[in-house]
Structure 1
Amino acid sequence: MSSSTTSTLFTLENTYARDLEGMYVPFTGTHASNPEVLVVNTALAEELGLDADALHTPEAAEILSGSVPPEGATTIAMAYAGHQFGGYQPLLGDGRAMLLGELVDTDGNRRDLHLKGSGRTRFSRGGDGRAAIGPMLREYLISEAMHALGIPTTRALAVTATGEQVQRDTAEPGAVLARVASSHIRVGTFEFALRQGDPLQPLADYTIARHYPELVDADDRYLRFFEAVVDRQASLVAQWMAVGFIHGVLNTDNTTISGETIDYGPCAFMDAYDPATVFSSIDVQGRYAYTNQPPVIGWNLARFAESLIPLVAKQLGGDSEVGDTDGAITALTDILAAFLDRHDARLAEHFRAKIGVAVDDQDLVDDLQTVMREHRPDFTGTFRALAEELRGNSRPLDDLIPRDAIAPWLSRWRAALADTESATADAMDRVNPIYIPRNHLVDIALRAATAGDLEKFQMLLSVVTRPFDADPALGAYAQPAPDEFGQGFQTFCGT
Structure 2
Amino acid sequence: MTAIPFDNSYARLPERFFALRTPTPVAAPSLIRLNHDLARSLGLDPDWLAGAEGVAALAGNRVPDGAAPLAAAYAGHQFGQFVPQLGDGRAILLGEVVDRAGRRCDIQLKGSGPTPFSRRGDGRAALGPVLREYLVSEAMAALGIPTTRALAAVATGEPVVRETLLPGAVLARVAASHIRVGTFQYFAVRGDVEGLRALADHVLARHYPEAADASRPYRALLEGVVARQADLVARWLLVGFVHGVMNTDNMSIAGETIDYGPCAFLDAYDPRTVYSSIDQHGRYAYGEQPRIALWNLTRLAETLLPLLAADETEAVAEAEAVLSGYAPRFEAAYHGGLARKLGLTEVREGDAALASDLLKRMAENQADFTLTFRALCDAAERPDDDTSVRDLFVDPTAYDGWGSRWRDRLVLEGRDAAATAAAMRRVNPAFIPRNHRVEAMIEAAVERNDFAPFEELLAVLSCPYDAQPSYARYAEAPEGGGVGYRTFCGT
Give the TM-score, by structure 1 length.
0.95
Q: 1:188-203 residue pairs with structure 2 within 5 A?
A: 188-196=182-190, 197=192, 198-203=194-199
Amino acid at match of 1:413: W
| Separation (CA, whole Å) in 2 of partners of 1:302 and 1:372 | 32
What CA deviation, in whole Å up to 9, does each residue of 1:30-86 have, x standing for no partner? 110111111000110010011112211121121111122112421100000000000
Structure-1 residue corresponding to 2:164: 170
Say whether 1:131 aligns with 2:121: no
What secondary structure does 2:77 align onto? strand
Say whether 1:232 aligns with 2:228: yes
| Separation (CA, whole Å) in 1 of partners of 2:202 and 2:35 | 29
| Separation (CA, whole Å) in 1 of partners of 2:30 and 2:105 | 24
Q: 1:361-376 residue pairs with structure 2 within 5 A?
A: 361-376=351-366
Q: 1:391-410 residue pairs with structure 2 within 5 A?
A: 391-392=381-382, 393-401=385-393, 402-410=395-403
Of 333, 342, 359, which aligns to 1:355? 342
| Separation (CA, whole Å) in 1 of partners of 2:67 and 2:43 | 18
Say whether 1:241 aligns with 2:233: no
Q: 1:33-432 residue pairs with structure 2 within 5 A?
A: 33-196=27-190, 197=192, 198-313=194-309, 323-357=310-344, 358-360=346-348, 361-392=351-382, 393-401=385-393, 402-417=395-410, 418=413, 419-432=415-428
What CA deviation, in whole Å up to 9, does each residue of 1:282-328 have, x standing for no partner? 00000000000000010000000001000111xxxxxxxxx121101
More displaced, 467-476 or 271-280?
A: 467-476
CA contact (8 A) 2:26 2:157 kept: yes
CA contact (8 A) 1:21 1:199 kept: no
CA contact (8 A) 2:131 2:442 kept: yes
Give the unaligned 5+ runs of structure 2. none
What secondary structure does 1:162 align onto? strand
CA contact (8 A) 2:184 2:196 kept: yes
CA contact (8 A) 1:40 1:157 kept: yes
| Separation (CA, whole Å) in 2 of partners of 1:355 and 1:216 | 39
Amino acid at match of 1:395: T
CA contact (8 A) 1:116 1:176 kept: yes
1:394 CA displacement: 3.1
Give the TM-score, by structure 2 length.
0.96
CA contact (8 A) 2:6 2:66 kept: no
RMSD: 1.2
What secondary structure does 2:220 align onto? helix
| Separation (CA, whole Å) in 1 of partners of 2:275 and 2:303 | 31
CA contact (8 A) 2:218 2:308 kept: yes
1:154 CA displacement: 0.3
| Residues matched between the structures, number | 479
| Separation (CA, whole Å) in 2 of partners of 1:449 and 1:60 | 23
Amino acid at match of 1:354: K
Amino acid at match of 1:442: V
CA contact (8 A) 2:4 2:65 kept: no
Of 476, 480, 493, which aligns to 2:477? 480
CA contact (8 A) 2:390 2:399 kept: no
What secondary structure does 1:307 align onto? helix
Amino acid at match of 2:143: L
| Separation (CA, whole Å) in 1 of partners of 2:431 and 2:46 | 27
Identity %: 52
CA contact (8 A) 2:27 2:158 kept: yes
Give the unaligned 5+ runs of structure 1. 1-5, 314-322
What secondary structure does 1:68 align onto? coil
1:21 CA displacement: 2.6
| Separation (CA, whole Å) in 1 of partners of 2:133 and 2:149 | 9
What CA deviation, in whole Å up to 9, does each residue of 1:236-275 have, x standing for no partner? 0000000000000000000011000000000000000000
Q: Segments of 4+ in structure 1 off by > 2 A?
A: 390-395
1:19 CA displacement: 2.2
What CA deviation, in whole Å up to 9, does each residue of 1:339-368 have, x standing for no partner? 122111110000000001133321111111
| Separation (CA, whole Å) in 2 of partners of 1:19 and 1:119 | 23
Structure-1 residue corresponding to 2:486: 490
Q: 1:444-483 residue pairs with structure 2 within 5 A?
A: 444-450=440-446, 451-483=448-480
More displaced, 256-265 or 59-68?
A: 59-68
| Separation (CA, whole Å) in 2 of partners of 1:130 and 1:190 | 26
What CA deviation, in whole Å up to 9, does each residue of 1:72-111 have, x standing for no partner? 4211000000000000000000000000000110011110
What CA deviation, in whole Å up to 9, does each residue of 1:5-40 have, x standing for no partner? x64x21112110112331100000111011111100
